[in-house]
Amino acid sequence: MTETAYDVIAIGNAIVDIIGRCDDAFLAANEAPKGHMRLVDADTSASLYAKMGPAVEISGGSAANTMVGLASFGGRAAFIGKIATDEFGRIFQHDIKAAGVAFDTPPAAGGPPTSRSLILVTPDGERTMNTFLGISTHLDHGEVGEDLVSRSAIVYLEGYLFDRPEAKAAFRQAVSIAKSSGRRVALTLSDGFCVNRHRDEFLGLIRSGVDILFANESEITALYQATTFDEAARKTAEDIKLAALTRSSKGSVILADGQSISIPVEPVAKLVDTTGAGDLYAAGFLFGLSKGYPLDIAGRLGSLAAAEIISHIGARPEVRLEQLGRAKGLIK
Amino acid sequence: MTETAYDVIAIGNAIVDIIGRCDDAFLAANEAPKGHMRLVDADTSASLYAKMGPAVEISGGSAANTMVGLASFGGRAAFIGKIATDEFGRIFQHDIKAAGVAFDTPPAAGGPPTSRSLILVTPDGERTMNTFLGISTHLDHGEVGEDLVSRSAIVYLEGYLFDRPEAKAAFRQAVSIAKSSGRRVALTLSDGFCVNRHRDEFLGLIRSGVDILFANESEITALYQATTFDEAARKTAEDIKLAALTRSSKGSVILADGQSISIPVEPVAKLVDTTGAGDLYAAGFLFGLSKGYPLDIAGRLGSLAAAEIISHIGARPEVRLEQLGRAKGLIK
């Protein structure tokens, strides 16, 4: 195998988050399913924005957040995703490149605007996402550079891409290139509702082409239509060699070759906003894997990154994760 | 006098802040004067943005921040400022209205983009601002509604407006309307460099038309070309009936009718970003004045709001200031 240029290349939706606070009644009144991501059209996005409180704009996108986290740990990260030639596109491009992630997908010249997610954070810190996919759906397989993917040790894919046929083609193309180049494929299931929309396809992919799976409790139980986490974990272990299952305040469980390793959460002084918790867990775990660290250390790096991200608004780290990892003695 | 519709109406630059972190060396390499605001043109703004790290976008603008703070305390606030018909203009408009501030200045149909300030925050929490004024400079006196100003108990003006002749005309128009309606005029000096640019005009205005003055230590010493704060304060007291002078970690001093009242700072667990500290101090003080509270209580409300704003990134409050004020027993 040739040398790798990147530890991980991710393919995902290129999104700017618009994050504001609300109460549970606002979610209910606007039919936003608490703790989940729902897709909305341009009109719904505009009318919800008009109703929601003051907000801040921070670059987001699940897999993009993970790559920024990986780079913040000191990993070599690249991202493929579609932006438009507009202000939000410039913000997304600036932030991911300034974070040290390679990002060269050409912006679209016309078409819908850059994707945005209206994220409503309730007083308990839980985030509820209302995503207008915009130009993100225009990512096609031509955008997945064979050279880029084949030179990355791991290709990381977000399940959200399955919500649009064009992006799904890009997704499959990336898996095919990775496999033929002897690289590993990682998948995050993204959201329980998203799993329900694409269960069979996800299962097929996991059984045939995925080497590393990330999921939270609601996603993995949705995938296996299991009634308990333990049942879902048992089925996961039968299907895949390596999985990291996150359980919010209960920590995470790593399943690998018949082993089950429990990872504690990293305590936080105050839970502010859960946006990006899973994305940053994946960043820490992937960084640990890329360094060849033991799985429990990789998991603890995931917990550490998740703890940083939920202690402030937004899904991009506010401090250098490498420094946090060194301070904890997890990175030597 | 007719009933008032607003406790305070403010006129200022309508700005979206782009806030990122950097070290002192980055400031020096980019000739950004630490702790100050400098005006930059579109090209400098673009090239500095390309060089700076990942950022977040949060609505800003000095007087606009103050009005959002006033509304967050439960005060009746209005704002006049110019935005363009673009994404940043929509963000500014959404955020200020969603915060409960009346804002009806029509967006410009063409011309430069909405103003933006690249704010660089150093590890000590100090912010350094690089502002591209864009459409803000196109605010003219026609935009200052006589009805709106005459129905506001206080008209609050930011010194930054003096940086452009057109805005200065709007500024003078507002003072004239307020005076002829028997309303009070408040002025914030905005920035030490800004004071140096317009010293004589500021002094003339303070001696003739300003009822309430806000300034920090560097601004007030610049205004009076004083060598010490005490000297500047003495001269201030000769020129104006009511002034609130802020001194960062040393608290603030309120000068009123020969009295000098020292106000302590409100302690913060961690200083994150000083952006908006002065703006929010003014919000608390103006709220206290509008409620007829004693000056020391008004000052402590200022300290409280400033403490909230410097404990996180951005110059817009993340919690309801009215609740903070009640919890402290400052608002009954």
Mean pLDDT score across all residues of chain B: 95
Assigned domain for B332 exists: no
Say yes or no to pLDDT of B161 above 90: no
Q: Which among A49, A56, A91 has CB closest to B58? A: A56
- Scanning every residue of chain A, which has its alpha carbon at the shortest distance from the alpha carbon of B47? A94
Assigned domain for A111 exists: no
Cα–Cα distance for residue pair B96/A54, rounded to 1 Å: 7
Give B318's contacts in chain A (Cβ within 8 Å): 21, 313
Number of domains in chain B: 1
Assigned domain for A76 exists: yes
Assigned domain for B1 exists: no
Q: Which residue has the higher pLDDT, B211 or A1?
A: B211
* Partner A contacted by B292 (CB < 8 A): no
User: What's the gap in Å between the CA of A51 and the closest CA on chain B?
Assistant: 8
DSSP structure string for B207-269: HHT-SEEEEEHHHHHHHHT-SSHHHHHHHHHHH-SEEEEE-GGG-EEEEETTEEEEEPPPP-S
**Contact predicate A162/A13, CB 8 Å:** no
Give B50's contacts in chain A (Cβ within 8 Å): 94
Assigned domain for A30 exists: no
Mean pLDDT of B201-216: 94
User: Where in the sequence is the domain holding B263, given as residue range(s)?
Assistant: 6-327
**Contact predicate A116/A44, CB 8 Å:** no
Say yes or no to pLDDT of B1 above 60: no
CB contact under 8 A, B57 and A91: yes
Q: Which among A53, A312, A316 has CB closest to B54? A: A316
Q: Which 3 state secondary structure label does DSSP give B301?
A: helix
Cα A183 to the center of its chain, rounded Å: 20
**Sequential pLDDT tens for chain A (332 residues):** 568 999 999 999 999 999 999 999 999 999 999 999 999 999 999 999 999 999 999 999 999 999 999 999 999 999 999 999 999 999 999 999 999 999 999 999 889 999 999 999 999 999 999 999 999 988 877 788 888 899 999 999 999 888 888 778 888 888 999 999 999 999 999 999 899 999 999 999 999 889 999 999 999 999 999 999 999 999 999 999 999 999 999 999 999 998 999 999 999 999 999 999 999 999 999 999 999 999 999 999 999 999 999 999 999 999 999 999 999 999 98
pLDDT at res. A320? 96
- pLDDT tens-digit map of A129-187: 999 999 998 887 778 888 889 999 999 999 988 888 877 888 888 899 999 999 999 99
User: What's the gap in Å between the CA of B100 and the closest CA on chain A?
Assistant: 9
* Partner A contacted by B250 (CB < 8 A): no
pLDDT at res. A145? 81
Domain CATH number, residue A140: 3.40.1190.20
Give B119's contacts in chain A (Cβ within 8 Å): none
- pLDDT tens-digit map of B88-139: 999 999 999 999 999 999 999 889 999 999 999 999 999 999 999 999 988 8
Assigned domain for B198 exists: yes
Mean pLDDT of B57-78: 98
Cα–Cα distance for residue pair B103/B152, rounded to 1 Å: 14
Assigned domain for A52 exists: no
Say yes or no to pLDDT of B277 above 60: yes
Give B56's contacts in chain A (Cβ within 8 Å): 56-58, 314, 316
Q: Provide the β-strand partners of residue B118.
A: B18, B130
- Distances in Å between the alpha carbon of B197 and those of A106, A171, A178, B161, B233? 44, 57, 61, 12, 21
Assigned domain for A45 exists: no
Q: Complex ipTM, two decimals?
A: 0.94
Q: Which two structure tokens, joined as six digits, stand for B322?
A: 């009215």
